[in-house]
Amino acid sequence: MAKAWHLMQRPQGKPTNADVALKDYDLPELGPGMIHVRNDWLSVDPYMRARMDDTESYFESFRLDQPMEGGSVGTVIASNADGFAEGDKVLHMAGWRDEAVISAKAANKLPELGVDPYHFLANLGLTGGTAWFGLMDVASAKEGDTVFVSAAAGAVGSAVVQIAKAKGMTVIGSAGGPDKCDFVKSLGADACVDYKAGPILKGLKSALKEIGKKGVDVYFDNVGRDHLDAAFATANNEARFAECGMIDGYNHEDPYAYRYIMYVIGKRLQLKGFIFTDYMERMPEFYAAMGPMIMSGKVKSRETVHEGLDSTFDAFLGLFSGANTGKMLVKL
């Protein structure tokens, strides 16, 4: 018997406690090719909100009255699979619970890189990989580019800021409130727009003027809506947009009217959506690039940590109110 968070009904707008329940569930038998994992760290991420809806998405929707899923790092406590032994640390997607019995094919044994295991849910995992491939592959960012990063104090955004600076780019971030903007600047950003202090377009234009730049060459989008529109308005010719997330629209039912989207044509803008799983086969390449940057201190991490399985849903809700600086994690 284990405990897991279950989705009990489809949320209308922002999820509430009435939509979920923490319940006991029966673990399956440890059959051939299976491992039994005790979870140590859980990840909560904005994309999980889309999985709560019964709509077509790049991930399968959560099933009602069944355990939800998400990234997790855990310890193998029993194995019936070749290549996995008791005590191994693994990354897998059977989160939102304290224990899981899963196919060994659905788990990745963590490489020995001399870092704490939770980093594989942050800068060495989904968030860092998303930042790296989104910036360097999707947006084809290069030295000398001016990069605008929305939600720059969040898990993915803070990694993008640091990677861009390490690669010789000029960076403008956006964040909510002076404390978060100070954090973004501490990561090396050349400027930060406080979107809570006024319209984002006005703030972005002011930031560009402050650092002596005409416009944006790369936009790494985590927010959508007014941030995306501001990027349209300030983009240089042939700017590249990496469309990673649109958290500002996940709990809105009304569509957003973009005022500056016609610049896509005249400025020859390139917009490309992507998801982390597009690059799973290239993770060794990512580890080789990001590992040394973390070990040298060029890329640092900051986590907002909740304690205990009971706190998981509160941690998730905090993503939509800006309660996290850096990666939101749950420690079991």
**123-146 per-position pLDDT tens digit:** 888 889 999 999 999 999 999 999
Q: Could you tell me the two tokens for 295?
A: 């070990």
Q: Quick check: 173 and 153 in contact, CB under 8 A?
A: yes
Spatial separation of the C-alpha atoms in residues 114 and 100, rounded to whole Å: 26
- So what's the pLDDT on residue 253? 67
The candidate with the shortest Cα–Cα distance to 91, out of 114, 111, 77, is: 111
273: how many CB neighbours lie within 10 A of its CB? 15
- So what's the pLDDT on residue 297? 83
CA atoms 126, 174, 250, 7: torsion sign: positive
Spatial separation of the C-alpha atoms in residues 220 and 91, rounded to whole Å: 26
267: how many CB neighbours lie within 10 A of its CB? 16
Q: Could you tell me the two tokens for 128?
A: 């860092």
Q: Quick check: 32 and 42 in contact, CB under 8 A?
A: no
**Which residues of the chain have a pLDDT value below 70?**
250, 253
The DSSP bridge pattern shows strands 235-243 and 270-273 to be parallel
- So what's the pLDDT on residue 164? 97
Q: Could you tell me the two tokens for 187?
A: 């990561």
DSSP character at residue 93: S
100 three-class SS: strand
